[in-house]
């Protein structure tokens, strides 16, 4: 029997290079989709013939309703350690295993700093000026001596703090369960949520999206920020109340927002965040690196080979 597998949302057409799919021989027929579909009916029609799906983390949603429309589905391979876009319980109820892969947080941490540096040195605007035949347009700012406020001092947050210390910044941190001792171990000072937003020159978010973290940054927190401060989000879009963020940016109450994640992805072409000149944004590429993709696709291939052989697989 030859199984049919769909690799979803491979925007850069990178899956075929990241792993040696010839290892599965003629056991699996692989189809790669490099585009993204939003309409649930179109998604269901496309995926209905497939036995196996390889889902890039949090791109195409696979809720219970969608899974019910895929009668042939036998296995879901998901990249990363967790995927909030998949209803794991609904899959289990159908007897469909959902596999996870390894993950590297370096790309997300490094991209956070790429955005911070680009924002403070006005790199997008200066690059545009240069390409248009112009010259200097802005005066940048030094990071030394600035206050960096980190919301969420986990693996990525700790990495961000290490780099901040190299820039000789003052680091403060807050999260719901963070202790003063844990903050100090990362070279940060524990402060209250209110103090962090009031004191920081840059606020950067590094939390897992959950029921208690959704909307954790709202109108009150944004209003407390300095008019010269930036907010950076390379974690999850819904951590910030999007409507409140748009309002504060339109009113120019803060310097700007550097964003790599959004409530809806891909972001609609006419979305307000695309047109605000105090938004510097990238299309959720923080984790999109050669090294991370190699982990994703090679581990997915190993999971697939194990499933085909009837061996233990890494299930979520």
Span 65-120, pLDDT tens digits: 999 999 999 999 999 998 889 999 999 999 999 999 999 989 999 999 999 999 99
Indicate whether 63 and 184 sit together in one domain: no
The answer to whether residue 124 scores a pLDDT higher than 90 is yes
Indicate whether 167 and 97 sit together in one domain: no
Selecting among 100, 236, 242, 302, the annotated active-site residue is: 236
Selecting among 284, 290, 291, 314, the annotated active-site residue is: 284
Strands 147-151 and 98-99: unpaired
> Would you call 99 helix, strand, or coil by DSSP?
strand
Indicate whether 299 and 256 sit together in one domain: no
Asked if 236 is an active-site residue, the reply is: yes
Indicate whether 221 and 272 sit together in one domain: yes
Burial class (CB in 10 A: 0-12, 13-18, 19+), 165: middle
- Let me know: does 316 contact 78? Beta carbons within 8 Å: yes
Q: Judge whether 33 lies within some domain.
A: yes
pLDDT band at 297 (very low <50, low <70, confident <90, very high): very high
Q: Judge whether 143 lies within some domain.
A: yes
Indicate whether 8 and 35 sit together in one domain: yes
Tokens at residue 142, please? 């030094």
64-77 residues labelled b (16+ CB within 10 A) or e (exposed): eebbeebeebbbbb
Angle, helix 290-309 to helix 106-120, in steps of 10 degrees: 160
Q: How far apart are the two ends of the chain, measured CA to CA in Å?
A: 26
Q: Judge whether 58 lies within some domain.
A: yes
Read off the pLDDT of residues 169-207 as tens digits, 9 standing for 90 and up: 999 999 999 999 999 999 999 999 999 999 999 999 999
Tokens at residue 146, please? 């600035």
Domain span holding position 293: 3-104+289-309
Tokens at residue 210, please? 């959950």
Indicate whether 173 and 74 sit together in one domain: no
Q: Judge whether 315 lies within some domain.
A: no
The answer to whether residue 272 scores a pLDDT higher than 90 is yes
The answer to whether residue 3 scores a pLDDT higher than 90 is yes
- Let me know: does 78 contact 57? Beta carbons within 8 Å: yes
- pLDDT computed for residue 82 by the predictor: 86
Indicate whether 59 and 202 sit together in one domain: no
Indicate whether 28 and 110 sit together in one domain: no
Left if phi > 0, otherwise alpha if psi is -120 to 50, otherwise beta: which for 310?
Answer: left
Read off the pLDDT of residues 131-170 as tens digits, 9 standing for 90 and up: 999 999 999 999 999 999 999 999 999 999 999 999 999 9
Q: Judge whether 257 lies within some domain.
A: yes
The answer to whether residue 58 scores a pLDDT higher than 90 is no
pLDDT band at 286 (very low <50, low <70, confident <90, very high): very high
Indicate whether 126 and 245 sit together in one domain: yes
Q: Judge whether 314 lies within some domain.
A: no
> Would you call 277 helix, strand, or coil by DSSP?
coil
Selecting among 121, 265, 271, 314, the annotated active-site residue is: 265
Q: Judge whether 36 lies within some domain.
A: yes
Indicate whether 51 and 171 sit together in one domain: no
The answer to whether residue 1 scores a pLDDT higher than 90 is no
DSSP readout, 40-92? Answer: HHHHHHHHTT-SEEEEPTTSS-B-HHHHHT-TT--EEEESSS--TTB-HHHHH
- Let me know: does 136 contact 125? Beta carbons within 8 Å: no
Indicate whether 52 and 122 sit together in one domain: no
- The total of structural domains in the chain comes to 2
Strands 98-99 and 28-32: unpaired
Indicate whether 132 and 277 sit together in one domain: yes
Asked if 271 is an active-site residue, the reply is: no
- pLDDT computed for residue 266 by the predictor: 95
Asked if 252 is an active-site residue, the reply is: no
pLDDT more than 90, % of the chain: 95
Q: Judge whether 125 lies within some domain.
A: yes
CA angle in degrees (0–180, nearest 5) for 108-54-298:
65
Please report, for the domain that includes residue 25, its CATH number.
3.40.50.720
């Amino acid at each position: 029997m030859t199984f049919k597998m769909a690799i979803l949302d491979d925007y850069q057409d990178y899956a075929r290079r990241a792993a040696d799919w010839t290892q599965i021989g003629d056991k699996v027929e692989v189809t790669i989709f490099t585009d993204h579909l939003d309409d649930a009916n179109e998604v269901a029609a496309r995926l209905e013939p497939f036995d196996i799906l390889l889902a890039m983390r949090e791109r195409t949603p696979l809720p219970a309703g969608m899974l019910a429309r895929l009668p042939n589905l036998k296995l879901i391979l998901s990249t990363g350690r967790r995927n909030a876009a998949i209803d794991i319980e609904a899959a289990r109820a159908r007897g469909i295993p959902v596999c996870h892969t390894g993950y590297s947080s370096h790309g997300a941490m490094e991209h956070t700093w790429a955005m911070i540096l680009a924002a403070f040195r006005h790199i997008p605007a200066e690059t545009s000026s240069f390409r248009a035949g112009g010259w200097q347009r802005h005066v940048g700012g030094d990071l030394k001596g600035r206050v960096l406020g980190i919301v969420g001092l986990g693996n990525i947050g700790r990495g961000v703090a290490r780099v901040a210390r190299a820039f000789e910044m003052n680091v403060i941190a807050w999260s719901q369960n963070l202790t003063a001792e844990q903050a100090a171990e990362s070279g940060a000072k524990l402060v209250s949520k209110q103090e962090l937003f009031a004191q920081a020159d840059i606020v950067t978010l590094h939390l897992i999206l959950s029921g208690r973290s959704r909307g954790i940054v709202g109108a009150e927190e944004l209003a407390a920020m300095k008019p010269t401060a930036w907010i950076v989000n390379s974690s999850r879009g819904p951590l910030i109340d999007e409507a409140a963020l748009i309002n504060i940016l339109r009113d120019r109450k803060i310097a700007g927002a550097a964003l790599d994640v959004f409530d809806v992805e891909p972001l609609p072409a006419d979305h307000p965040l695309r047109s605000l000149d105090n938004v510097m944004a990238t299309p959720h590429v923080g984790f999109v690196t050669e090294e991370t993709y190699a982990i994703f696709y090679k581990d997915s291939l190993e999971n697939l080979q194990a499933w085909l052989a009837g061996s233990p697989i890494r299930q979520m």
